[in-house]
Structure 1
Amino acid sequence: MEPVQAALSNKKNYLYLLLVVFVGFLVFGFSENIKGPAIPKIQQDFKLDEFQIGTLLSFNSLGYLLACSFTGILSRKLGLKLTCLLAFGSMVLSGVLIAYSSHFLSFSASYFFMYIGNGMLEIALAILGAKIFIKNTGMMMNLSHFFYGLSSIAAPILASVLMGAPWQGDVLGWRGMYVFMLALSLLPMIPSLLARFPVEETDSHEQASLRTFVRDPIAWLIVVILSFGVISELSIGSWLVNFLEKAYQWDLPKASGMLSLFFLCFTFARLVLGSLTDKIGFILSLVWFSAFSGLCSLVAIAAGPSGAFLFALAGVGIAPIYPTVMAVLAKRYRKNSDMAITFTVTMMGIASVVGNFLVGAITDGFRTYFTSVYSGETGLVIGLQAGYVFIGSCALFCSIVSFYLYRRLKRQDDLL
């Protein structure tokens, strides 16, 4: 029996592997999306402007990118089991380091370290999912990412509550909140220790396969699609609360509630639409879902506060993008899924660095220009709107490139 099949044949062991993936994505959702409510407080404590916040997020994306570049190699050298344990452990440690960061430099370094853990975890879970989800790949990939969305629903509100919770005569604050939330990464370490992970033999053609993959134009189109989709998804999590607070003068609980509503739509879209991607096709799903998300964001900006619910509704369209692309990679590159996922997500990571930087730069650039023309408050609102137009446009670009890929694969009779 092949090593992968042997690891999956035991039902108890398969349950442990499912727990690693599902609970892993659960804590990953917390670590990624507690920053929305925390960013205004971090900005206030360290006296940062929007450009500096954008630069901080871009710099931290480099940590994610660095992790993406070596996690595939690490999983082949040390195995997926140890790689997952290292990822979970580094996230716990980063929470402690963030709590004791007294200066912006030490905070940036600690946050950077957390993003390394996030990157390691995302690659490791994606590789594990590609190996164990042999049947109904689209549905199972979306189901696993449903748990990411599930924790993302609770993350903004829970983060807001924890930051205001009493602690030793004061409040817990964003530092204590990070310690508590990142300590949840200890939970998936238990099934990771108990499970026997699938192992595949590496063959002598691995480097040749990588060269072939890099030269494949379809692979690069998949990279572009994922990049635009993820920039839009992550930017909403990072900037929506800030946008609603400053552009519409919403208070933190109300703004965090809208972000949670976005993740509610996001989460249940993955639960409901996952099986649909298997039925209508992976690529065609990407076309329609990303277009819907982009249009919702742009119409929301045009409509003003009365259309704010469309910011949340955009989560329905953007939710299936990442897991559906992972399903494409798992199906198209079944024998080299770890290499395909590592390369694609690493390239996407480069784009996300640029994307975070551009949102901050566009916001600050428009704000500076229009502040000189109008009042400071009006200039800030226009800047925030411009930044969010970029976020929505990324989803539309994702749809356009997906449509091009669909037509190309259809001509080649190679649709997935």
Structure 2
Amino acid sequence: MKTFFASLGKRKSYVVAELFFVYLALGIGLIMLGSVLPQLRASYALDYQTGGALLSVQSVGYLTVGLFTGVCSVKLGLKRAYLVLYALMPLGFIMLLINGAPLWLMAAMLLTGFSKGAVTDYNNRVMSEYAGGRAAPLNLLHAFFAIGACLSPLLVLLCLRCGDNGWRLSMGIAVALLLAALIFGLFMHMDSEKPTEAYQTPAGGSFGFFRERLFWQTAAIGFFYQAVEASMMGWLTSFYVDSGTLQADAAQVVTSLLWVALLIGRFACSVIAAHHKPWQMILVMCIGIGVFLALMVGTTVLPLLLIGTIGLGLCMSGMYGTSVSNAGDIFIRYPSAMGLFVTLTGIGAAVAPTVVGLVSDRIGIRWGFASLLIAAVFLIIAAVINARYFKHLNSK
């Protein structure tokens, strides 16, 4: 990591600081949406199905914007496209505070999804280029999201003690942080730091990655992982409370504990990545996700629940950054590959929360959460296929 930071000039260092700041603010804001979902549903009289639809609409925006991020960065310039699309996040939060009509709420969540997808694309693309495809800087970037995610439930818990409108106060604080990151970004020089090679057509054409097996197996891993992650981010607090496992205050604390584990895991992955290949880390983390998710949804005993939650957080911690580095060379050679990767993996994030909501409405939220085990099984299968691919490649 010291080598990475030492290689950055003044302008690149400012850009990296902005990427970290934005991910910190997004960690607070996006996890807050899940933390306040029980209060938001109660305030606006929403059922599980509508709540799941809101989470899925956000994911629809997340996956759709990936089709346009590449074009926007070329037409508007990377910095301008980045800031304009990021500004949709605080706008969506403000809309959530203004009105509780379902269509209005869905429009607000769609905007937050657009912003989340664009930031994911641009942040990972720029960081991957600066890091030369190494996993450690990418995992450190995602660690800042985890820091914000750790703080978010605790912030919600404090604000809820201020009364019935405490959830609005917490979201107001999130808006202030999101706007602060936007203002900070106005002074960076992202465009001038963008390598000109990125806009040249690589050998094999701009869409040559379609023929790369590694791209598709990495996308499969991302698809099933995003299905689990999106549902965890949106439904976790509701699962703890509505299943009767935890009281509301305890649920916020345990949700924060998940992200503490994620934070620790992301720093650990930054170190582990220096000694192990991405495919090896992915295989171990995917198996762990399946095991600890099964433990979490299958128990009502608090110690086992805590073990499942912490273990799940540790195993999820480095998945996205390590998945990007798994096909890092492809993302560097084909700039449009990252946008499609975000779109394809976002489909899993769009479908899963609605499935959880539908099942929860019919047979209970514990069974709704249990449906995620299907995604976990396919995630493990994709990781095994990826590992076999690299073993075969290295044996040549």
Give the conservation status (yes or no) of the 8 Å contact 1:33–1:156. Answer: yes
Give the conservation status (yes or no) of the 8 Å contact 2:282–2:383. Answer: yes
How big is the shift at 1:39? 0.9
Deviation per CA, 1:86-143, whole angstroms, max 9, x where unpaired?
13322222222222114232222222222222222221111111121127x1111101
Matched, 1:265 2:270: no
Residue of 211, 216, 228 corresponding to 2:212: 216
How big is the shift at 1:173? 3.6
Q: Provide the identity percentage.
A: 21
Match of 2:187 in 1: 194
Residue of 378, 384, 389 corresponding to 2:370: 389
How big is the shift at 1:358? 1.7
How big is the shift at 1:222? 0.8
Query: Which structure is richer in relative contact order (CA contacts within 8 A, separation 6 or more)?
Result: 2
Structure 1 residues 144-153 or 194-203, which shifts more?
194-203
How big is the shift at 1:363? 2.4
How big is the shift at 1:204? 6.0
Match of 2:144 in 1: 147
Q: How does 1:14-413 map to 2 (within 5 A)?
A: 14-134=12-132, 137-165=134-162, 172-197=165-190, 198-201=193-196, 205=201, 209-306=205-302, 307-309=304-306, 310-336=308-334, 338-365=335-362, 367=363, 383-413=364-394
Give the conservation status (yes or no) of the 8 Å contact 1:293–1:392. Answer: no
How big is the shift at 1:254? 0.4
Deviation per CA, 1:375-412, whole angstroms, max 9, x where unpaired?
xxxxxxxx322222232442342222111111122212
Give the conservation status (yes or no) of the 8 Å contact 2:261–2:313. Answer: yes
Structure 1 unaligned runs (5+)?
1-7, 368-382
Query: Residues of 2 paired with 1:178 and 1:218: CA distance?
Result: 40
Give the conservation status (yes or no) of the 8 Å contact 1:91–1:114. Answer: yes
Give 3-state SS (helix, strand or coil) of 1:165's partner. coil
How big is the shift at 1:19? 0.5
Query: Residues of 2 paired with 1:179 and 1:200: CA distance?
Result: 37
Query: Residues of 2 paired with 1:384 and 1:329: CA distance?
Result: 36
Query: Residues of 1 paired with 2:168 and 2:186: CA distance?
Result: 29
How big is the shift at 1:304? 1.9
Query: Residues of 2 paired with 1:414 and 1:176: CA distance?
Result: 57
How big is the shift at 1:203? 5.3
Query: Residues of 1 paired with 2:253 and 2:373: CA distance?
Result: 20
How big is the shift at 1:290? 1.6
How big is the shift at 1:278? 3.5
Give 3-state SS (helix, strand or coil) of 2:300's partner. helix
Structure 1 length-normalised TM = 0.86
Indicate how the Cα distance of structure 1 residues 393 and 263 shifts in structure 2: closer, same or farther if over 3 A, else same. Answer: farther
Indicate how the Cα distance of structure 1 residues 391 and 251 shifts in structure 2: closer, same or farther if over 3 A, else same. Answer: same
Query: Residues of 1 paired with 2:81 and 2:389: CA distance?
Result: 37
Give the conservation status (yes or no) of the 8 Å contact 2:54–2:109. Answer: no
Structure 2 unaligned runs (5+)?
1-5
Match of 1:379 in 2: none
Give the conservation status (yes or no) of the 8 Å contact 1:64–1:120. Answer: yes
Give the conservation status (yes or no) of the 8 Å contact 1:37–1:252. Answer: no
Deviation per CA, 1:227-281, whole angstroms, max 9, x where unpaired?
1112212211211211111112522110011110000001110001222123211
Query: Residues of 2 paired with 1:102 and 1:333: CA distance?
Result: 40
Query: Residues of 2 paired with 1:227 and 1:187: CA distance?
Result: 32
Match of 2:3 in 1: none
Structure 2 length-normalised TM = 0.90
Give 3-state SS (helix, strand or coil) of 1:196's partner. coil
- Letter of the 1:233 counterpart: E
Between structure 1 and structure 2, the one with the greater Rg is 1
- Letter of the 2:349 counterpart: S
Deviation per CA, 1:284-322, whole angstroms, max 9, x where unpaired?
110101211220121233332332101232100011110
Structure 1 residues 35-44 or 8-17, which shifts more?
8-17
How big is the shift at 1:13? 1.3
Residue of 7, 10, 19 corresponding to 1:12: 10
Query: Residues of 1 paired with 2:159 and 2:351: CA distance?
Result: 31
